[in-house]
Amino acid sequence: MTTTAQRVNDAIREAAEASLPQSQKIDFDAVLTSDVGLDSVQIMDLVMEIEDRLDLSVPVEVLAEVQTLGQLSQHLQQLIEGKR
Amino acid sequence: MSLFDKFRPLAEARAGLGDLGVAPGVAPIATPIEDIHSAAEGVIDGRQVILAGTNNYLGLTLDPDVVQAASGALHHYGTGTTGSRMANGSYLAHQALEGEIAAAFGWPSAMVFSTGYQANLATISTLAGKDDYLLLDGDSHASIYDGAKLGNAQTLVFRHNDPENLDRRLARLGEDAGRALIVVEGLYSMLGDQPPLAEFIEVKKRHGAWLLLDEAHSFGVFGERGLGLAEHQGLLADIDFVVGTFSKSLGSIGGFCVSPHAELELLRLAARPYIFTASPSPAVIEGTRMALRKLLAGQQLRERLWSNINRLYGALNELGYRLGSDKPGPVVAIILPDRETALAHWKGLLEAGIYANLMVPPATPKGFNLLRISLSAAHTPAHIDHIIESFGRLRRAA
C-alpha cells in the first residue's frame, strides 16, 4: 500500500516532468524561483498539475510559504491528512 | 545588507530593457507622454504619435461636455473632498453617481470607490470572509489577487477560462460551495481574451456559489448600453456583483461595484479600502457622471470602436501575426517570439509615430512577449490605416 508521502511525491514528480520538460532532474530541495528559475506563473501552473493529479485544491496562502518541492510535499501531505 | 537588496532582480530586468538601445531617451516602460492633442494623438520624444496604448476605449477624456462637467465641479466644489466617504467625503454628487450606476443595471445598490484597484480590493476582501472561499481565475488582475490577500478567505485558483477546472474545485468544497465567491473578468487585459461566461454561470448555479464579474476592460465596449460582456450575452440576471472602473471607457479615475443584492450597502461599514481613503474629487465624480451618460447612449461610439477593432484584428490575422485572442476586442495582443522581437516592434511602431504597450514576463501570462494595441472610438480610419501599414512594414522587415 502506498503511503500519503509516496503518493504526493509521485504526483509532484509526474507534474514536474509534464510541466517542466527542460528540467534535467527533479530536485525536491531546489528553490523553485532562484535555483530552478521559475516565475510565479510557472509555479502556479505546476501546482495546478499537481492538484489535478491528487484531486485536491491548494489554497494560495499555502503556496506563499512554499519555496521548494519538498516543502510543497509536506504541505500537501498535511492537507490530505487533515481531510481524513 | 540593505532594504533595497531584494529589488536587485527587478532593477536588472529594468536595466536590460534600456541596454538594448531602444529609442534612446525613451523607455518602453513608464514612457513619458509629453503632450496630449486629442483622445487619440499626443507627443512622445518630441514626435507626434497615435496613442494606441491607452485604455481610452470611447475617447471621452476630452469630450467637451465631460470636460465642462468636471471643470464646473472643480470651480464650484474645489479640488478635493479631503475626507473619507464615512466622514466628510460623501457629497450629493457621489450618491447621485451611485444611483445612476445602479439604475443603469436596474439593480438596488452601487458603491463608488476612489480607484478601480480599490473597488476590487474592497469588494473581494470584504465579501469573502474568514470561513468563505474565493475562487480566482489564474490570469486574474493584480487587484483581484491583492483583494484576496487583504481578506481572510481561503483562496483557490482555477485554470484560466476553464469552467471544468472550476467545477472540480467547487465539487471538492461540497456544501461549502455556497460560501464561495467566483471571480472572473469580462475581458483579460494582457491577451484581450474573454471568458466562457455562460459556462461559468452554469457551474456557479449548479454549486450554489456566487459570481463577481470584473468588467474593467469590457464596460463601455460590449452590450447595447455598454454595460459589459454580461449585458452583451444576456447574462446579467445571473451575475451577483459587477465591478468596473472609471479609468478606461469613462475616461477619469475611480471604480464601482453594483449588485442585485441590496445588502451590498453593508460593505460601506466594513470595506477598509472604501473607508480608509479619501473619496474621489468632485471634478472626477461630475466628469464621470457625464461620461456615464455618454457611455449608456454611446451606440455610435461603440460602432466606431468595433469598426476599428474588426479592421485591425482582420489585418493582423492576414499579416500572419499570432494574437492573444481569437475573438476580436478592444485589446489587441500580438504575441511575439522573444523579447528582442517585441522590443523591435515597439521601437519600430514608435518611429512610425505609433505608441503601443510593451508587455514582457513576469507581467505576462505563460511568459509571453507581447505588444499590445488598445483601440478607441477616437481612432480615425486614417489612424487604423497607418497602424496596419506600419505592422505590414515590420512584418516584411522581420
Q: pLDDT tens across B113-150, in order?
A: 999 999 999 999 999 999 999 999 999 999 999 999 99
The Cα–Cα gap between B375 and B330 comes to 5
Provide the number of CB pairs (under 8 Å) joining chain A to chain B.
Answer: 37
Maximum Cα–Cα distance for chain B, whole Å? 61
Shortest distance between the Cα of A28 and any Cα of chain B, in A, equals 23
* Cis preceding linkage at B328, omega within 30: no
Determine the pLDDT at residue A1.
Answer: 52
Stated as kind and residue range, the H or E segment containing B104 is helix B92-105
Stated as kind and residue range, the H or E segment containing B5 is none
Determine the pLDDT at residue B178.
Answer: 98
> B64-296 adopts what CATH topology?
Aspartate Aminotransferase; domain 2 (3.40.640)
CA neighbours within 13 Å on the CB side: how many for B369? 13
Residues of chain B contacting A44 with CB distance shorter than 8 Å = 138, 157
Interface test with chain A among B157, B172, B176, by most A beta carbons within 10 Å: B157
Closest to B157 (Cβ–Cβ): which among A52, A55, A60?
A60
* Terminal Cα distance for chain B, rounded: 45
Determine the pLDDT at residue B284.
Answer: 98
The Cα–Cα gap between B44 and B375 comes to 18
Determine the pLDDT at residue A84.
Answer: 43
Determine the pLDDT at residue B366.
Answer: 82
DSSP output for B307-363: HHHHHHHHHHHHTT-EES-SS--SEEEEEESSHHHHHHHHHHHHHTTEE-EEE-TTS
Q: Would you call B165 an interface residue with chain A, using a CB distance cutoff of 8 Å?
A: yes
Residues of chain B contacting A45 with CB distance shorter than 8 Å = 138
**Could you tell me the residue ranges of all domains in chain B?**
5-58+299-397, 64-296
Residues of chain A contacting B154 with CB distance shorter than 8 Å = 59, 61
The Cα–Cα gap between B385 and B54 comes to 18
Determine the pLDDT at residue B184.
Answer: 98
Q: Contact, B213 vs B242, CB < 8 A?
A: yes
Determine the pLDDT at residue B147.
Answer: 98
Q: Would you call A58 an interface residue with chain B, using a CB distance cutoff of 8 Å?
A: yes
Shortest distance between the Cα of A10 and any Cα of chain B, in A, equals 21
DSSP output for A20-74: -TT-SS--TTSBTTTTT---HHHHHHHHHHHHHHHT----HHHHTT--BHHHHHH
The verdict on a CB contact (< 8 Å) between A40 and B362 is yes
Shortest distance between the Cα of A61 and any Cα of chain B, in A, equals 7
The three cell numbers locating residue B233: 450575452
Place of cell 465624480: B285
Residue B377 to residues B70, B105, B282, B300, B328, Cα–Cα distance (Å): 21, 23, 26, 9, 15
Nearest residue to B52 (alpha-carbon basis) of B310, B395, B292, B380: B380
Closest to A39 (Cβ–Cβ): which among B157, B165, B362?
B362
Q: What does the pLDDT look like over B246-294, one tens digit per residue?
A: 999 999 999 999 999 999 999 999 999 999 999 999 999 999 999 999 9
- Which is more confidently placed, B20 or A16? A16
Average pLDDT, whole number, for chain B?
Answer: 95
The verdict on a CB contact (< 8 Å) between A60 and B365 is no
Shortest distance between the Cα of B180 and any Cα of chain A, in A, equals 13
State which residues of chain B have pLDDT below 50: 19-21
Q: Would you call B393 an interface residue with chain A, using a CB distance cutoff of 8 Å?
A: no
CATH, residue A58: 1.10.1200.10
Torsion of CA B98, B100, B106, B110, to 10 degrees: -10
Residues in chain A: 84
Residue B283: what are its φ and ψ, rounded to 5°? -65, -45
Tell me what ipTM this predicted complex has: 0.82
Q: Would you call B369 an interface residue with chain A, using a CB distance cutoff of 8 Å?
A: no
Provide CB contacts within 8 A for B86, sequence distance 6+. Answer: B268, B274, B275
The verdict on a CB contact (< 8 Å) between B172 and A61 is no
Q: Would you call B232 an interface residue with chain A, using a CB distance cutoff of 8 Å?
A: no
> Residue B362: closest CA among chain A residues belongs to which residue?
A39
Does the domain at B5-58+299-397 match CATH 3.40.50.150? Answer given as no
Closest to B366 (Cβ–Cβ): which among A41, A48, A57?
A41
- Which is more confidently placed, B278 or A62? B278
Q: Over range A53-63, report the average pLDDT.
A: 88
Stated as kind and residue range, the H or E segment containing B275 is helix B272-275
For residue A35, is pLDDT > 60?
A: yes
Q: How confident is the model at residue A9 (pLDDT cuts 50, 70, 90)?
A: very high
CA neighbours within 13 Å on the CB side: how many for B211? 26
The verdict on a CB contact (< 8 Å) between A48 and B361 is no
User: Containing domain of residue A50, as a range?
Assistant: 4-83
Structural domain count of chain A: 1
Provide CB contacts within 8 A for B329, sequence distance 6+. Answer: B187, B192, B193, B194, B217, B218, B221, B309
Give the strands of the sheet with B109-113, arranged side by side. Answer: B109-113, B255-259, B241-245, B210-214, B180-185, B133-137, B154-158
Determine the pLDDT at residue B292.
Answer: 98
